[in-house]
Structure 1
């Protein structure tokens, strides 16, 4: 069984989920914050560590290992909801991903090579192979699923999907999810009950939709009313404007508020691009620029 996902964090989670459980994992440290802004006391830190360790032990008891080996976990971490998709595995996409890695070319090139190897494994599948695809609520995952369908449609492989639930009860609390990268590895196995097959006809329909999106080649793709659609570059601008306060503010705070409150299912990369556009268009004014860390720059409404 090949396990396929569409982000590096989900890929790491799946690999851990293959052989999770059994105990022995200890909490090394925790981050403790106080609502009133004061430093946490030693007692509060010890209490937080105790609670975290109890949660870790409970997860170990609940764990359902997926089995398999790390080589069975494939990732197409391509961010296909953004920019040109005419050649998803071409040099233009590679250069785009390198830009997103903010100068860490070594890590970018390693991830790119692993992505190409994953695509090759999918193309080499035959009628005796099975591919289980872990899909979530992010636009990049929705686009990744359609792209994967275009690779797999003629292989004859048995394809299934495991959709991520919107939420899960945890005691008296409700935990909501956007992507598989947010899920503890011990819980992946619990969601196998949601697995459903993708018949060849449906796989072909998804592949056809991907080719339509490639022809449209819009600046962005988003999930609108449950369907992947081509949208304009300004699709998320309203969310950004909603969180630009009066007066001066750091770019990092704007981005954090958009991601935290609106949960658009995208990362910070496109939001940064649009803030740069707002600066160039005169909608925002740079008050204090940090040339090393753009996120620390201070802006205000023009």
Structure 2
């Protein structure tokens, strides 16, 4: 049985629903590792995700870092077992940092396996007729989109040589271990932890405090794609604690420059 591996849990649910509606038997392994952020240098990569998931949990009321971490551990174990058994694997990814980092990490993990492996590299811009669709996340794909945009036709084989090439890129990122990884002009680059702050600060006013929800919404809408809401909330907390920004508590919490 072909096994799909994805790095976005919302997308995993859409893919599973697509298969269920068509009575297609397929396993989908979800590994929401958020590898565009945080420490990646430890020998046990999954352990590095605990800290990041706790940050996420702080800023997402519905978040449960323990449940999500267990999903990742279970998914990673299922993946290793499937690869060792020679099951066919298919990796889904985009050019957004979390997906791209997940993809090259997986190339490192799977470089020695002989199992047949393919990939679906989903473009962030799709067309249908004379209409252009821009994806901010792979999770923007809905089940009808798979057929409307012929997504499965994008599948290509991922040879062992190609896996080795991408695994070299992962090892270079791991050695650098700068805490933010971004895609600039098609290149995956390491950046300092405050890289995304500039986009957030550009949506604040020097005249008056701005609602935090509004500032983050505008930053996500007009800033780089693929940056989660909770990361901006985490950075606001840091900037407030370092007196770069001033916090105003209220029915709608606000923030502004000191």
Confirm or deny: 8 A CA contact 1:136 1:164 kept in the other structure: yes
> Structure 1 unaligned runs (5+)?
21-64, 291-295
Aligned residue pairs total: 251
Residue matched to 1:243: 203
Q: Choose which of 253, 278, 290 in structure 1 pairs with 2:214.
A: 253
Q: Do the aligned partners of residues 238 and 163 (structure 1) sit closer, same or farther apart at CA in structure 2, a change above 3 Å counting?
A: same
What is the alpha-carbon distance in structure 2 between the residues aligned to residue 140 and residue 188 of structure 1? 21
Confirm or deny: 8 A CA contact 1:89 1:116 kept in the other structure: no
Higher alpha-carbon Rg: 1
| Deviation of 1:128 (Å) | 3.5
Which has the larger displacement, 209-218 or 249-258?
209-218
> Structure 2 unaligned runs (5+)?
none
What is the alpha-carbon distance in structure 2 between the residues aligned to residue 66 and residue 239 of structure 1? 44
After superposition, what is the alpha-carbon deviation per residue over 1:184-231, rounded to whole angstroms, capped at 9, x for unaligned?
Answer: 113225211111111111101211221221111111111122222211
Residue matched to 2:151: 191
Residue matched to 1:164: 122
TM-score after normalising by structure 1: 0.75
TM-score after normalising by structure 2: 0.87
The alignment status of 1:131 with 2:89, answered yes or no, reads yes
What is the alpha-carbon distance in structure 1 between the residues aligned to residue 110 and residue 34 of structure 2? 19
The alignment status of 1:212 with 2:172, answered yes or no, reads yes
Residue matched to 1:5: 6
| Deviation of 1:259 (Å) | 0.4
What is the alpha-carbon distance in structure 1 between the residues aligned to residue 181 and residue 224 of structure 2? 16
What is the alpha-carbon distance in structure 2 between the residues aligned to residue 109 and residue 277 of structure 1? 24
The alignment status of 1:114 with 2:114, answered yes or no, reads no
What secondary structure sits across from 1:74 in the alignment? strand
The alignment status of 1:270 with 2:226, answered yes or no, reads no
Which has the larger displacement, 183-192 or 213-222?
183-192
Q: Choose which of 215, 229, 246 in structure 2 pairs with 1:285.
A: 246
What is the alpha-carbon distance in structure 2 between the residues aligned to residue 105 and residue 244 of structure 1? 27
